[in-house]
Copies of this chain bind each other. A is one copy, B any other.
Amino acid sequence: MKDFTSLAPVSRKISDSTVRRLSLYLRFLEEFEHEGVATVSSRQLASQGATTAAQVRKDLSLFGSFGKRGRGYEVADLARKLKAILGLGRRWRVALIGAGRIGSALAEYGDFRERGFDIVAVFDSDPAKVGRRLAGLTVVAERDMERVLADTPVDIAIVAVPVEAAQAVVDRAAAAGVHGFLNFAPTQLHAPEGIALRDVNMSMELEALAYSLSQDADA
């Protein structure tokens, strides 16, 4: 049994699927905690999340030994550890770039704040939007992005601008010190060296559904 004195990430590279599952487990643990449940087994965690008990144990074992044999996992304790592993032991500062329909909806999306992500700046290139209030913030001209980011640095930027503008906005924000991006423009962006970027492509999700439905129809 390894001795993990800290929760410092393990040398081994953790797959994206594992990270996503950890994030899911954390949610379930918070629900259990809310219901006053004190301990859970890998089986119980698995049943909530469409996975297997072995998978849960394997995922957790990548980071240490958090359970007690014969008993399971202590809910509050495991939740705390997962938070530390996922980097949620702190709050994250987020900029929103693009205050159109999707951007505005995201600015006011309560779940972000609830999960530790604070939107602290909003940018838009449309002069008609600049100066307006959105989710308690004043929309700033996209042209002033570098200047504002120098004053109020952020960790992550949410990109909600049109496809044509998206890559440029990422490159500029990355140069201005933003380390992670969540892109909602329906295109695959390229992250500068050393920068984390994830694409959320809603139309592509619908296309994947369309594929499934076409398959079923022939079956």
What's the dominant secondary structure at chain A's contact region?
Answer: helix
Q: In the assembled complex, how far is the CB of residue A64 from the closest CB belonging to chain B, in whole angstroms?
A: 16
- Residues in B whose Cβ lies below 8 Å from that of A133: none
Q: Is A211 engaged at the interface, CB distance under 8 Å to the other chain?
A: yes
- The one of B14, B24, B203, B215 in contact with A111, judged by C-beta atoms closer than 8 angstroms, is B203
Interface positions of A from 104 to 122, Cβ below 8 Å from B: 104-106, 108-109, 111-112, 114-117
Report whether A182 and B156 are in contact in the complex, using a CB–CB cutoff of 8 Å. no
Segment 151-210 of A: residues with Cβ below 8 Å from B: 155-156, 179-182, 186-188, 190, 194, 196, 198, 200, 202-210
**In the bound complex, do residue A111 and residue B186 qualify as a contact, i.e. CB atoms below 8 Å apart?**
yes
List B contacts of A88 (CB < 8 A).
207, 210
- A214 adjacent to chain B (CB < 8 Å): yes
Contact between B179 and A210, CB atoms less than 8 A apart: no
